[in-house]
Amino acid sequence: KSLRGLGMELRCRCIETESRQIRRHVKEVEIIPANSHCEESEIIATLKITGLKVCLDPEAPWVKKAIEWWMSSRRS
């Protein structure tokens, strides 16, 4: 096996996921579909202010709703 890209992780990045509803604290979110190194999709949110990264559960109903919210968000 060869490396496909620099900085690519060779295993899952999330150990556990945040269960609390933290939608308002999220600055941006990264979705990593399942791939040859990790058999489940992963969602990594970067928090406002602290910049901390936390993993979210792709199957949690609040996360699915939050993704829709973030995608459709428009500053008014």
User: What is the rounded distance in angstroms from the CA atom of residue 4 to the CA atom of residue 75?
Assistant: 37
- What x/- string results for residues 31 through 60 when contact with a second copy is judged by CB under 8 A? xxxxxx-xxxx-x----xx-x------xx-
2 binds a second copy (CB under 8 A): no
Shortest Å distance, C-beta 53 to a second copy: 12
Closer of 43 and 54 to a second copy (Cβ): 43
Shortest Å distance, C-beta 17 to a second copy: 13
User: What is the rounded distance in angstroms from the CA atom of residue 56 to the CA atom of residue 26?
Assistant: 11
CA 18 to chain centre: 10
CA 72 to chain centre: 17
DSSP β-bridge partners for residue 47: 26
72 binds a second copy (CB under 8 A): yes
Shortest Å distance, C-beta 6 to a second copy: 8
